[in-house]
Amino acid sequence: MKKLLSFRFLILISILAISAALFAAGCEKKMEPGPEEVTEDLGPIKIGFAGPMSGDAAAYGEIIRNGIMMKIEEINEAGGINGRMMELVVGDELCDPKEAATIAQKFASDEEILAVVGHVCSSATLAALPYYKDAGLPAVSPTATNVDVCKKSEWMFRDVYRDDFQGEFMAKYAKEVLGLTTVGIFHENNDYAIGLMEAFKKGAEEIGLEVVGVESYVKDTVDFTPQLTKFKHLAPDGIFIAGYYQQGGLILNQAKKLGLITQFMGADGLNNPKLIEIAGEDASSGFIASSPFVYEAAGGEALKFKKNFEKKYNGMTPDWMAANGYDAVGIIAKAIEECGADRAKIRDCLAGMNTADKGYKGITGVTFFDENGDCLKPAYVTIIKGGEFVAAEKQMF
């Protein structure tokens, strides 16, 4: 009998021990978070930048990337977007349509990239659009001004004005402010320059500004003597250059050597400090160009950005492209914060920024979009004095 009781007692002790172990294990399990309590590390919010980081147009890419990184670093230092850090993925597309298509395809297929700042040049932007549209990847260009850029895709936006506005504006400025009566037009054969040339010519015809000659050149031209000689013979009051700073600088330099004295002017593609370096200070002095943005005119936060930019990048002077790149990131960040880290939600949120009240207030002003993704912003005029672009004394608003 005693043996039976002892055996039963041992069984009871064993059962109690096993139960205690199971209870302890259960307690430990309950202390672990359930699926709904797990805080998933989603990683950084990635955005792409597509621009020319090498080649002839590298000055554009460098200064825009610097502006972009200024904004990203500010956002990250303030805690990121809803607790997530921003990260930039850079694609070097040389401002070349073929390269741009390759970069766009790469960005579009990378599901971690939620939006793109870019492209920079209009021809490159137009080549990239189909890939972003097919993949549903939103993009905000800080610089592409060709009229068709946003019309071709509901996924494309920009925080810069269009060439039809810019070209007609400069024709009006030439006549009404500069007092010119005859002009020549010198343009590169690309989407940006041709659209700009056509807009300037149309604007000139409407206000009675006589266009006495139109000459063109291709991207790799280095000798502009034949066309400049024709312009010298025509003797226009001014010459409007539609193109980019690389060729624009050479044109100004060679015109000076030919003794071609006239009022040279251009648009935002020539509004880059590198133009002065290429042309030389003497040959570029007095050159006038339209600009989407002028720091001195904006004041306040814009001047603070300029000062911080110069300090961070060893004295590099930021141009309007740097400011637009900075604001493009702010626009995208606003959309992500308000609508979520999802491509389609970002696009819808950008489209919803359709009034000044709903727009993004940045250093370049308030950006909001029309039904095509275009924005409405004023144009400024700059002039080269003392080896740098400064605000022209007379503006036209």
Same domain, yes or no: 188 and 270: yes
pLDDT digits (tens, 9 = 90+) for 46-68: 999 999 999 999 999 999 999 99
With a CB cutoff of 8 Å and minimum separation 6, the contacts of 243 are 186, 187, 188, 190, 192, 193, 217, 266, 269, 270
115 within some domain = yes
pLDDT of 163-209, one tens digit each? 999 999 999 999 999 999 999 999 999 999 999 999 999 999 999 99
Asked if 59 and 205 sit in the same domain, the reply is no
Which residue type occupies 104?
A
Domain contains 396: no
Clarify whether residues 125 and 183 are in a common domain.
Answer: no
Instruction: Give yes or no for a contact between 116 and 107, defined as CB atoms under 8 angstroms apart.
Output: yes
8 is a domain residue: no
Domain annotation covers residue 279: yes
Comparing CA positions, the residue from 392, 367, 390, 389 lying closest to residue 378 is 367
Q: Same domain, yes or no, for 201 and 119? A: no
216/286 same-domain check: yes
Q: Is the pLDDT of residue 36 over 60?
A: no
The structural domain count of the chain equals 2
Examine the domain organization and report whether 116 and 202 are in the same domain: no
Compute the distance between CA of residue 247 and CA of residue 306 in angstroms, rounded to an integer: 27
Is residue 386 a part of any domain in this protein? no
* pLDDT one-digit tens code per residue, 272-283: 999 999 999 999
- 2 burial class (0-12, 13-18, 19+ CB within 10 angstroms)? exposed
Please check whether residue 62 lies inside any domain of the structure.
Answer: yes
Q: What is the rounded distance in angstroms from the CA atom of residue 239 to the CA atom of residue 216?
A: 12
Residue 9 in any domain: the answer is no
263-266 and 388-391 strand pairing: unpaired
Q: What is the pLDDT of residues 67-85, one digit of tens each?
A: 999 999 999 999 999 999 9
Same domain, 317 and 367: yes
Question: 147: number of CA atoms within 13 Å, CB side?
Answer: 13
Sheet holding 45-51, edge to edge: 86-92, 45-51, 113-118, 139-141, 156-158
- DSSP secondary structure of 318-356: P-HHHHHHHHHHHHHHHHHHHH-S-HHHHHHHHHT--ST
Residues 282 and 326 in one domain: no
CATH number for the domain spanning 260: value is 3.40.50.2300
pLDDT at 362: 97
Those residues whose C-beta lies under 8 Å from the C-beta of residue 41, and which sit 6 or more positions away, are none
Whether residues 154 and 209 share a domain: the answer is: no
Q: Is residue 397 part of a domain?
A: no
Range of the domain at 243: 164-291
Compute the distance between CA of residue 337 and CA of residue 346 in angstroms, rounded to an integer: 9
Whether 196 and 276 share a structural domain: yes
Mark whether 123 and 144 lie in a shared domain.
yes
207 and 249 share one domain: yes
**129 contacts: CB under 8 Å, gap ≥ 6:** 104, 149, 152, 153, 155, 156
Return the bridge partners of 141, or none: 158
